[in-house]
Structure 1
Amino acid sequence: MEDLGVRVSYLALAVGTRVYDVDSASVGVVEHVIADEQADILHGVIVAPPKPYGSHRFAHREQIADLYERGVVLSVPGSEMHEPGEDAPAREAEGAGDDPVQVGLRRAWEWLSRPR
C-alpha cells in the first residue's frame, strides 16, 4: 500500500480518496462522506468501485479502521461492505445525488474545500 499521509478527521476526507480493505486491497474511492456534522458523528462513507464494474458500497463507521489524507483503511474485507440502500442515511445520500440543486451544492463544496 502506498504512503497514505497523516491521519485526518472525516471533515477533511476528500471525495476521490482511495479506500483499502483490511488486506490492503483497493476497493474503490470515497464518493460521499455521511455524517451528522452538528453532532460531530461520522456515519460512514459511500465507496465508488473501480470502474467499469461493480456498484456503490457503503462502509459503516464500525468498518472503518483509520482515515488518512490519501486513504481510508477498512477493518473488514471489501466484500463485507453492503449496498447503500441497506442503510437509511446512506440511502438518503445516494438519492440526493439525483437532485440538481444537491449535486450543484456538493460540487461547489468540493471545489471550495479542495486543497490548493
Structure 2
Amino acid sequence: MEDLGTKVSYLALAVGTRVYDVDSAPVGVVEHVLADERLDIFHGVIVAPPGPDRSHRFAHREQIADLYERGVVLSVPGAEMHDPGDDPPAGVVENADHNPVQVNRRRAWERLSRRR
C-alpha cells in the first residue's frame, strides 16, 4: 500500500480518496462521506468500486479502521461492505426511518442513483 499520509478527520476526507480493505487490497474510492456535521457524527462512506460494472458499497464507521489524507483503511474485508440500498448492519439501527445513518445513506444513494 502506498504512503497514505497523516491521519485526518472525516471532515477532511476528500471524494476520490482511495479505500483499502483490512488486507490492504484496494476496493475503490470515496464517493460520498456520510456524516451529520451539525452534530459531529461520522456515519461512514459510500465507496465507488473500480470498474464500470460494479455497484457502490457502504462502509459503516464501525468497518473503518483509519482515515488518512490519501486513503481509508477498512477493518474488514472489502466483501463485507454493504450495498447502500440494503438494510443497515445488524445492531446499528433500531428504527431505520428515523435513524440519521439510514436517512443520510438513503439520501446519498438517491443522489448517486440519479447521476447514472
- What TM bracket, shorter-length normalisation? 0.7 to 0.9
Aligned ranges for residues 20-99 of structure 1 at < 5 Å? 20-86=20-86, 87=88, 88=102, 89-97=104-112, 98=114
Q: Which sections of structure 1, spanning at least 5 residues, go unmatched?
A: 100-116
Relative to 1, partners in 2 of residues 1:68 and 1:38: Cα closer, same or farther, differing over 3 Å? same
Q: Give the structure-2-normalised TM-score.
A: 0.81
Percent identical residues = 76
Higher helix share: 1
Could you list the structure 1 runs, at least 4 aligned residues long, displaced by more than 4 angstroms after superposition.
none
Q: Does 1:12 align with 2:12?
A: yes
Kindly tell me the number of residue pairs found equivalent between the two proteins.
99
Q: Give the structure-1-normalised TM-score.
A: 0.81
Tell me the C-alpha RMSD between the 2 structures: 1.3
Q: Which sections of structure 2, spanning at least 5 residues, go unmatched?
A: 89-101
| CA distance in structure 1 between the partners assigned to 2:4 and 2:51 by the alignment | 22
Shift, 1:92, TM fit: 1.6
| CA distance in structure 2 between the partners assigned to 1:40 and 1:59 by the alignment | 18
| CA distance in structure 2 between the partners assigned to 1:52 and 1:94 by the alignment | 17
